[in-house]
Structures are given as structure tokens and as C-alpha cells.
A and B are shown apart, each in its own frame.
Chain A
Amino acid sequence: MRGILLNRYTVVFGAMAVSVIAWNLYVATHSAGRIAGRVVGPDGRAVAGATVTLREKTLTTLEPRAAAQTDDAGGFVFAGQRAHHFVLEAAKDGVGKSERAAYRLAFRGQSLSISEPLRLQP
């Protein structure tokens, strides 16, 4: 029995199988797809009512996927997001637009709290 367990094939492929299963379990249990962040104005203060668009980056194009409005504290949330490589852009009439910020995730449905706020420029 010991011989089979310590056989290098069993060890290698067993370790691979275990890590694949463990990873899939982790992904399955953490796939809320919640993207949260903040929008600030050119002066650094939170901007409410700005529109944040999320576009998924495929290998060749950018596909619009969702839009959200910021609340009074300038925060926005996307829930149930399924893109693993996407671009966020915030805009508010009269205040300005932000640069496109690209984000990459390790798996689809990963939740992300964006620390750096999206800064609107006129």
C-alpha cells in the first residue's frame, strides 16, 4: 500500500487532482462577482449620481455589460459580474469623465474592492 502511495506518479497526479478540486471548490464558493468602488471628482470629493459603465474586454473588443449609479458617498457596486477582464469608466454630466481603468481577475465571479477611486476629470 505504501508503495502505491509513495509512487511518484500517484504523488504528482494526486497533488494535481487535489489542487484542481480545491481550486474549483474555492471558485464555486466565492463567485459572488461583486465589484465595488468609489468615484471622486477633480477635487477629491465623492461624487454622487455618476454613471459607471462596466465593459468586458474580449480578445478583440470591448463589450458593454452593465452600468451603475454612484450613491451619496460616491460608491458603486456591480453584483453578479461574470467578466474576468473588464474596463470601468465613470462619467457625470457637468463634472467630467474618468480614465478607463482596466482590471483583471483570477477567475470569473471573483469579487473585487477597488481601492483607488475613479477620478473624474473635466
Chain B
Amino acid sequence: MRRTPTWPIHLVLLVVSAAMVTPLYWVLKTSITGDNIFAYPPALFPRHVHLYYYVDVWYYIPFVRFLVNSTLVSLIVVVGNVVFNAMAGYALTLAFRGKRAVVLLLLSCMMIPFQATIIPAYLITKELRLLNTHLGLALPLCSTIVCIFVFKAAFDAVPRSLIDAARIDGLGDLRILARIMLPLSTAAVATNVILAFIWSWNNFLWPLIVVRNQEMQTLPLALSTFLSYLENTTGALYAFCIMVLIPGVLVFALAQKQFVEGLTSGATKG
């Protein structure tokens, strides 16, 4: 069998990688450059480098406040997701009356995108008096069907013998879940944590609807408000952009495997 040369493949992949990275590099360069960013032609490499745009972002806007908001909301979402999804996933491994209806219900709920529910969700949140609160921001995201099935698959993989032994020892369902299932499913927990974090951290439409004053803004909303007030007039916008992207890139770099596994669990399930 003839070996095909690999360098053309490398070449194409390098070009594609450059195309994928260039936008990020371009904004990073703009955020750390000490040159005038409004000078034409735009320079490919900055001649002077400084971090003062980041200082601007830190002080000119209540960045810490926004960061705290985003972190709090994401924390609630992550904890809610892990707890509720694990509970529901475990329940789905047991046999009970109405199970098929529940599974059907969950699968059909997956077809309802969040965007099709924004108006009533807003009205409901208003009735619950959760507008402009962290809980109101977090609540719709606190359980996701994909993650329930991730847990279910992980729990299904736990050997029956362990469960049977636990039942004989008289352990109730909740204890079985906490003491046996969860410790053996750290991968599923990790996937849940990462997916829930990324979805809640990047969520923009819901905070846009629910947040009513400046201080409760989460980071995506704050970034968008910054853009609408100041447009392109300052390099601080791009420093803000980079600061906001760092957690996402960090999570991606640290937990790529779980992230990919979580996302493709829909692909391999069908």
C-alpha cells in the first residue's frame, strides 16, 4: 500500500489552524498594544506592549462586581445541575410506574429550545419575584436533559452486584446515590460541571431579559453594554473581551476531554 505524503495534510491543517487562531490573536494584540489602535494601516505586531487597557477595564467599570455576578450565577447553576441531574438520572435507572412517560416527556422537552420560551419565562420569573436576582438568572438553567442522560448512562454502568449488595445492607436510594453511584461516576460529574459552567457563563439572552439594573449584569451583558456605550473608541473594549474569554479558554484547556465527551454524548446516543 502506497504511503501518501503527510505534508499536504499538515499544510492544510496549519492554514486552517491559523484561520481559527487569527481572530483571537488580532484582538489579543489590540488589547496589549501601546501603539495607536486607530492608526492605519493596522500593524501585525505591536511595537510597544502595555497592559494599561486591562487596568482601564478594571477601574472604569465595576468589573469585579460583574465577575462576582457571573460566578455566583454559574455556581448556582453548576451545583443545581449536578444535584438535580444526578437525582433524576438515578431515578431513571430504576423501574417505576410511568417511567416511559417521563422519558418521553424529557426527550420531547429537548426539542423545545430556550429561545422559544423567553416571553413566558420572563413572565414567570416576574411572578416569582425573581427578576434581577441571581436565582432568577440561574433557575432556568439548573437542569438540562442532556446531562440527565449523561448521569443515567454512567449510573447504568455501575455493576449491579454493588447495588444489590447495598440494598441487602438496607441502604435507601438516596444513600445509594450518594455513597455508591456518584463516587463511581466522577467523569459524569465532571462533564456536568463543565457543560453547566460553560452554558451559564456564556449565557447572554436570559440575562439581557432578566437583568434590570447595571449592578446585576453578568459578564456577557456587561461586555455588550460596554460596547453599546463606547463602541470602538477605546482599546479597553478588547481588553475586556480577553478578560472575559480567559475563563472559557481555561476551562477548555483543562477539561477538554470531558467537554468533548459531554457534547458528543448526544451524537453517540442515537
Contact = CB atoms under 8 A, between A and B. Distances in A.
**Chains A and B touch (C-beta atoms under 8 A apart):** yes
A12 B55 contact: no
A8 B251 CA distance: 11
A108 B55 CA distance: 9
A104 B59 contact: no
B240 to A, nearest CB: 12
Interface in A1-48: 8-9, 12
Interface string B59-73: 110000000000000
Given A9-B254, A59-B56, A85-B56, A104 B50 contact: yes
A104 B236 contact: no
Interface string B236-257: 1000000000000010001000
B234 A106 contact: no
Contacts of B236: 59
A89 B250 CA distance: 43
B254 A107 contact: no
Interface string A43-74: 00000000000000011000000000000000
Contact of A106 (B55, B230, B233): B55
B122 interface: no
Q: Say whether chain B's binding surface is mostly helix, strand, loop, or mixed.
A: helix
Contacts of A12: 250, 254
A85 B50 CA distance: 13
Contacts of B250: 12
Nearest to B226: A59
A58 B55 contact: no
Contacts of B56: 59, 84-85
A8 B250 CA distance: 11
A105 interface: yes
26 contacts: A8-B254, A9-B254, A12-B250, A12-B254, A58-B60, A59-B56, A59-B60, A59-B230, A59-B233, A59-B234, A59-B236, A84-B55, A84-B56, A84-B59, A85-B52, A85-B55, A85-B56, A104-B50, A104-B52, A104-B55, A105-B55, A106-B51, A106-B52, A106-B55, A107-B55, A108-B59
